[in-house]
Chain A
């Protein structure tokens, strides 16, 4: 057990050190603009796209910016926590909707598109990192728990995290201070469509039948085990652990406690890179992409995938938050994050008590409709400049 703990700590430390060293290597001259510098470049006045220095400071201390009132942040986070605990997904997206729309940050930032592009992009980056603080917390919790359950496989984690470090590091370095708020909202909308698709599949007959079949198979196994207990049924020493039976650059075959699995080692690296890049770009976790990717595309067992992908998300989030905040100097409204944590805690507790009154399938369908609305609104507003669904 101690050996496993040391290995796990080493694993996380190595990647954190790599991230820190990589980030430090380019830290010195690459700092993005500070809030004060961005404000100084913005024309003063009372009109749109201008800053009135006498106005009350709001988000990030910018005069005249919307002040995400702590009660709104708290209440919205209760809603996010409730969604998270009832639907089991969509929480990161809803946190993003709060940061973009509910607190009025997108409309405020968009006003500076032409008059002060630096301020416009700084607000975009701050929204991205605020989301990632919340996602990173979830990843930290799930990684710790999967580790305790013995469900993290280090070699796969190495491949996956290797790709995810590259994605999570290069996206902030290449895009911080360069992405316009409208483009960010557009891509965010496309991602919402993707989640709506995954949620919808889970409510279809095919998605539901898989769960039913799993329950029946588990029940049958449980019944057979009552007749014949597993004590003494453990495989022999030669069969235990992960044993690689054949290795090539396109296929790794291994037995996992006597059961054979195989995967293409290039897939975790490529997938890790693109998923972490997308997650870092949008300020989301990407866990919802890792699991189906590794189970469907790479053909790995869920047992290995869920825990290991949680570590990949955690590593990706540490690298991405570090790259944005330390390498690129992007500011974050910590007060807002603090109130959101309290709200998420409250919502996550209320969720399980209320969800028993609403069938799981209908809850998910409700969120598919909500996701389609949010997706349509953000995609059209981001790429066309106007929303095709109300409010226009």
Chain B
């Protein structure tokens, strides 16, 4: 398959990441990890930008969802089946609105991932990665997703040491102080939640 122009431009740099130590497996993991880390950082940056742009709208829709959700839990606590069903229906409608914000936010986080997979498809489509002691193998997609998860959790450890992300954390922490907490069914359990019941 012939690479699109954009990939031809970045390919020499990306493939260089896979030729650092000249040890096949080590190079593959190193190159894939750097790619995955870049995808995570770019995603974290764009999701933060989207959040800053739409935070007032998000506050409003999330507020409605929390209100009806809490009402349905209260109705269940009061054993009022009719009020429970009604609040539950409205909670679902309200949740629908927040859901699309979450889709937008998540797409803003995940968009670099298919582009990395697209480039890897040109380079590693024919390569099989054997699973030790099983006789089976997986393809580059499974390998990348595995490394991506590791990169995500590692970056999470240092994320708030970066000033930009620290600012986002301050905003999120303020929400927790000013908005009512969403109740769950666990709040109805007096033994597991002695403080709330």
Contact B186–A57 (Cβ < 8 Å): no
Binary flags per residue of A132-170, CB closer than 8 Å to B gives 1, else 0: 010001101110010011110000000000000000000
Provide the bound-state CA to CA distance between A344 and B103, in Å: 8
Q: How many angstroms between the C-alpha atoms of A57 and B136 in the bound complex? A: 33
A124 part of interface (Cβ distance < 8 Å): no
> Which of A1, A237, A348, A353 interacts with B107 by CB under 8 Å?
A348
A352 adjacent to B100 (CB under 8 Å): yes
Name A334's contact: one of B88, B93, B106, B118 (CB within 8 Å). Answer: B118
Q: Is the CB of A220 within 8 A of B88?
A: no
CB distance from A246 to the nearest CB of B (A): 19
Q: Determine whether the beta carbon of A233 is less than 8 Å from that of B78.
A: yes
- The main secondary structure of chain A at its interface with chain B is helix
A303 to B69, CA, bound (A): 10
- Indicate if the CB atoms of A257 and B81 lie closer than 8 Å: no
Report the minimum CB–CB distance from B53 to chain A (whole Å).
8
Residue of A nearest to B68 (CB): A218
Residue of A nearest to B112 (CB): A338
Whether B1 and A218, one on each chain, are in contact in the complex, defined by CB atoms closer than 8 angstroms, is no
Q: How many A-B residue pairs have CB under 8 A?
A: 196
Known interface pairs A257-B188, A337-B114, A341-B110. Does A352 touch B57 (Cβ–Cβ under 8 Å)?
Answer: yes
Partner of A214 from B61, B85, B110, B187 at Cβ < 8 Å: B85
A211 engages B89 (CB within 8 Å): yes
> Closest approach, in angstroms, between the C-beta of A231 and any C-beta of chain B?
8
Whole-angstrom distance between the alpha carbons of A344 and B184 in the complex?
30
Taking the complex as formed, is A235 at the interface, i.e. its CB lies under 8 A from any CB of chain B? yes
Given that A218-B90, A222-B71 are contacting pairs, would A235 and B50 also be in contact in the complex, using a CB cutoff of 8 Å?
A: no
Known contacts A150-B185, A342-B107, A345-B108; decide if A237 and B190 are in contact (CB<8 Å).
yes
CA distance A88 to B103 in the complex (A): 12
Range of interface residues on B (Cβ < 8 Å): 35 or more
A234 contacts B by Cβ under 8 Å: yes
- Interface centre among A1, A221, A346, by most B CB within 10 Å? A221
Q: How far is the CA of A306 from the CA of B85 in the complex (A)?
A: 13
Does B57 contact A259, Cβ atoms closer than 8 Å?
no
0/1 string, A312-339, CB within 8 A of B gives 1: 0000000000000110000101110110
Contact between chains at A301 and B85 (CB < 8 Å): yes
Contact of A217 among B77, B86, B103 (CB under 8 A): B86
Determine if A349 is an interface residue (Cβ-Cβ < 8 Å): yes
Query: Chain A 333-376 against B: per-residue CB contact (8 Å), 1 yes, 0 no?
Result: 11101100110111011011100000000000000000000000
A338 touches B93 (CB 8 A): no
Q: Are B104 and A81 in contact (CB under 8 A)?
A: yes
Contact A221 B101 (CB under 8 A): no
Is B30's beta carbon under 8 Å from chain A? no
User: Does A215 sit within 8 A of B, measured CB to CB?
Assistant: yes
* B87 & A341 in contact (Cβ 8 Å cutoff): no
Does B152 make an interface contact (CB < 8 A)? no
Report how far A138 CA is from B136 CA in the complex, Å: 31
Whether A61 lies near B1 (C-beta < 8 A) is yes
| Set of chain B residues within 8 Å of A85, measured between Cβ atoms | 97, 100, 103-104
- Where the two chains meet, the residues of A that have a C-beta atom closer than 8 Å to any C-beta of B are 1, 4, 24, 27-28, 35, 57, 60-61, 81, 84-85, 88, 133, 137-138, 140-142, 145, 148-151, 210-211, 213-218, 220-222, 225, 230, 232-237, 240-241, 256-259, 301-303, 306, 325-326, 331, 333-335, 337-338, 341-342, 344-346, 348-349, 351-353
Could you show 27 A-B contacts with beta carbons less than 8 Å apart? A60-B1, A81-B107, A85-B103, A88-B96, A140-B106, A141-B99, A141-B102, A142-B99, A211-B89, A215-B86, A217-B87, A218-B83, A221-B71, A221-B83, A230-B78, A233-B78, A234-B77, A234-B187, A235-B77, A235-B79, A259-B76, A259-B81, A301-B88, A334-B118, A345-B50, A348-B100, A349-B53
> Which B residues are closer than 8 A to A by beta carbons?
1-2, 4, 50, 53-54, 57, 61, 68-69, 71-72, 74-90, 92-93, 95-108, 110-115, 117-118, 121, 125, 134, 136, 138-139, 141-142, 182, 184-191, 197
